[in-house]
Structure 1
Amino acid sequence: MRRLVLTLAVGAALAATAATAPTAAAAPTGARGSERTCAPAPAGYAACHARVVTDSTGKPLATSGPSGLNPADIQSAYSLAGTSSGGRTVAIVDAYDDPTAEADLGVYRSQFGLTACTTANGCFKKVNQSGGATPPRSDAGWATEVSLDLDMVSATCPSCHILLVEASSASLTNLAAGVNYAASVPGVVAISNSYGGTDGASVSAYNPPGIAITASTGDNGYGVESPASYPHVVAVGGTSLKKSGSSWTETAWSGAGSGCSTSNPNPGWQTGTSCNGKANADVSAVADPYTGVSIYDSTRYQGRSGWQVYGGTSASSPLIASVYALADNFGTDAAQYTWGHAGNLHDVTSGSNGTCTTTVWCNAAAGWDGPTGLGTPNGVGAF
């Protein structure tokens, strides 16, 4: 197994709060920090896990063109180039409406020479949580999350079709209804959930047969969130990813969530975690905003629009969902399959996301660890 050269330095502190930059890598030109685009969630609700790189004024850093990682970078770093999904569908579940979702997706795909993905050609579809055409109210913060999710599916799996399901609100009940609808749509093989709330008991909507369900572990460092903590959900952590010559270097991102659920049991296939409950994460991908991805969004969040650089485990969840779609292997529980094929992953062995009573829960190490799980994609063999 080819392993990444793991040389980036990642701070051991907990993830920074709004407008405070991670310290994992050199920032994009003009960057002064990063900010969550969704407010913290009260009980019973979820917050999205998108983080936008900000400038000296604390507003999103807008650039004249793409300045983060692009589709070719993602496919190179994770050995996905030349892999096709055969038109399988990845569903994205988010809260509220992004009124410019399809248009912004078109700009992104055109910029990078990807085939158009539109309602007209059958590649893209946007619905509300019950599958209807009437959208919920719009929300600028969640709209940026939508753009990030759609662009990450496109970057990872250009051949995938995309179903965007917009829940009426960020309540966990409405988001679960969106997941339930997405799972009922023929052709959907993976559903990404780039949000999280308080660790809670598993909900049946997040365990549909034959569909990979991914969820972000969070952007606040060591700590557990749901739905990532549900036993059959693939909990997706985060890394810092940077190119050095012809090699990609990768470490744990200081903001990635991790730990042991106190609400959900450990599924039998999770071994070596020292957790009595479900362990987060299972796998991971790039999430550090300072090694972040190029995103196009015209919603004018905080008065800014256009090309921006994003991170957060909101980037890694749709990326991993798209790798499952590329793999076309849906006869086994997705998380269980990946745990049984960990040798096909890049093992991330350095970096930290905070302090914890058991070292491996918050420090990257050989094999499984909390911030990065079993590792990051090395092709589709583990998916």
Structure 2
Amino acid sequence: MSHHLVRRLITVVTLLAATAVPALSATQASASTRTAAVSTSDTHTVVRAGCGATPAAGYAACNAYVRTSKVHPNSGTSTTSGYIPSQIQAAYGLAAASAADGSSQTIGIVDAYNDPTAAADLAVYRSAYGLSACTVASGCLKITSQTGSTTSLPSNDGGWAEEESLDLDMASATCPLCKIILVEASSASYANLGTAVNEAVALGANVVSNSYGGSESSGETSYDTYYHHSGVIITASTGDSGYGVEYPAASQYVVAVGGTSLSTSTTASRGWTETAWADAGSGCSKYETKLTGQSLVTTGCSKRAVADVSAVADPNTGVAVYDSTSYDGYVGWLQFGGTSVSSPLIAGVFALAGNESSVSNNTLYNYVGTAYLNDVTSGSNGSCSVSELCTATTGWDGPTGLGTPEGITAF
């Protein structure tokens, strides 16, 4: 299958030349042409991560954006843009749990291709924000191929390296005491990514995050077995293209994680406010069975509705990430958004709760309208015939699901 790299000129603030690892080949990251697409809803210059082009059938792309006016190409110990762990924990009522819980939990992160600086970059991030070290040597971090090898890893890819750094940092931000297994698939095909999910579970992951997706297809249910693991929570990003459904977020076996715009507030009692992110995915699956829990809410769907829950995803209210493997010059401290942020963040919340053997995507619906979820009631990701599917409202809605975490009780 042919691969192309298409670079589209975008208006960007002047970036310093990358001084870290030279840009690695990104042509393998999806089985289709890759572009640097500008999000139409963002007020600043934002580009898709290098692994984010529209994928070919049977393949997935990552769901991440980089805000290019917030790139700090250095190897320092702090960043000046993007929410940091203490802010993420404060926004979602997690500070106490993040400080005490998760030491018996393991978060699996599944992505495609190898990030050669994943461990080193994670060390920079955690050190910058006072999180305890999580290293391969200590046994806290494990990096493996989809077959379980720690020595024979997939080929390097700068685009997917951005995604892997983002995922590792967000899992660390919400659950600093958790162990982490990064499983790198040999390609971005659903067959290989699904095999990597199975490997993460086999290696002991209690929760597995998947920050990738592609358009639904009539054959998608054949991949569902990869995401069906009793006693293990599987999260998946809902996508970054606005109203519309992606797989595997559509799978009946995953927690579909949507996106919000998150801002501090001097008037809200919580100290933060959220609206639906304009690019978060949502809608009715064409092929997946409706969740039993969704009988408790109005979705307008005869089959599975997306999303279930959500967290920050807007790159303009994004998060700080450290990545030293260059893709198109974006290297160092970066501000990221996309539902690639919200999926590992929510995976960390599930890990903090430690109830994965008794909860599921269905049990979340028991908490609709409670104080354990922040109900997001404004914002939209497009136009649709059933307003709840694309416009935030009281209770469940498509872009934000049941809302965002307020502590760990709902999880």
**Quick check: TM above 0.5?**
yes
Q: Which whole-Å CA distance do the structure 2 matches of 1:304 and 1:144 have between them?
A: 9
What amino acid maps onto 1:22 in structure 2?
Answer: S
Pick the aligned partner of 2:50 from 15, 37, 47. Answer: 37
Query: What is the CA deviation profile of residues 235-271 of structure 1, one whole-angstrom value per residue up to 9, with x for unaligned ones?
Result: 0000000112371010000010000101111021112
Paired residues of 1:345 and 1:374 also in contact (CA < 8 A): yes
1:5-154 to 2 correspondences below 5 Å: 18-20=37-39, 22-23=41-42, 31-38=44-51, 39-55=53-69, 61-62=71-72, 65-66=78-79, 67-83=81-97, 84-133=101-150, 134-154=152-172
Q: Which whole-Å CA distance do the structure 2 matches of 1:123 and 1:21 have between them?
A: 39
Q: Are 1:354 and 2:375 counterparts?
A: no
Q: Which whole-Å CA distance do the structure 2 matches of 1:231 and 1:137 have between them?
A: 32
Q: Which whole-Å CA distance do the structure 2 matches of 1:265 and 1:252 have between them?
A: 25
Q: Aligned residue for 1:283?
A: 309
1:101-250 to 2 correspondences below 5 Å: 101-133=118-150, 134-186=152-204, 188-199=205-216, 200-201=220-221, 203-245=224-266, 247-250=271-274
Q: Secondary structure at the match of 2:361?
A: helix
Paired residues of 1:273 and 1:360 also in contact (CA < 8 A): yes
Q: Are 1:258 and 2:286 counterparts?
A: no
Q: State percent identity of aligned pairs.
A: 53
What amino acid maps onto 2:340 in structure 1?
Answer: S
Paired residues of 2:259 and 2:338 also in contact (CA < 8 A): yes
Q: CA deviation at 1:328?
A: 1.0
Between the two structures, name the one with larger relative contact order (CA 8 Å, sep ≥ 6): 1
Q: Which whole-Å CA distance do the structure 2 matches of 1:63 and 1:352 have between them?
A: 34
Paired residues of 1:239 and 1:253 also in contact (CA < 8 A): yes
Paired residues of 1:232 and 1:333 also in contact (CA < 8 A): no
Q: CA deviation at 1:205?
A: 1.6
Paired residues of 1:236 and 1:320 also in contact (CA < 8 A): yes
Q: CA deviation at 1:45?
A: 0.2
Paired residues of 1:229 and 1:264 also in contact (CA < 8 A): yes
Q: Give structure 2 stretches of 5+ with no counterpart.
A: 1-35
What amino acid maps onto 1:338 in structure 2?
Answer: L
1:322-337 to 2 correspondences below 5 Å: 322-337=348-363
Query: What is the CA deviation profile of residues 123-148 of structure 1, one whole-angstrom value per residue up to 9, with x for unaligned ones?
Result: 00000001112110111111100000
Q: CA deviation at 1:332?
A: 2.9
Paired residues of 1:339 and 1:374 also in contact (CA < 8 A): yes
Q: Which whole-Å CA distance do the structure 1 matches of 2:39 and 2:189 have between them?
A: 27
Query: What is the CA deviation profile of residues 188-221 of structure 1, one whole-angstrom value per residue up to 9, with x for unaligned ones?
Result: 2100000001223251120101010000000000
Q: Secondary structure at the match of 2:284?
A: strand
Query: What is the CA deviation profile of residues 86-138 of structure 1, one whole-angstrom value per residue up to 9, with x for unaligned ones?
Result: 23100000000000000000000000011000011110000000111211011
Q: Which whole-Å CA distance do the structure 2 matches of 1:165 and 1:351 have between them?
A: 35
Q: Which whole-Å CA distance do the structure 2 matches of 1:326 and 1:33 have between them?
A: 32
> TM-score scaled to structure 2, two decimals?
0.84
What amino acid maps onto 1:261 in structure 2?
Answer: S
Q: Which whole-Å CA distance do the structure 2 matches of 1:190 and 1:20 have between them?
A: 30
Q: Aligned residue for 1:5?
A: none
Q: CA deviation at 1:174?
A: 0.3
Paired residues of 2:73 and 2:330 also in contact (CA < 8 A): no
Q: Secondary structure at the match of 2:287?
A: strand
The total of aligned residue pairs comes to 356
Paired residues of 1:22 and 1:33 also in contact (CA < 8 A): no
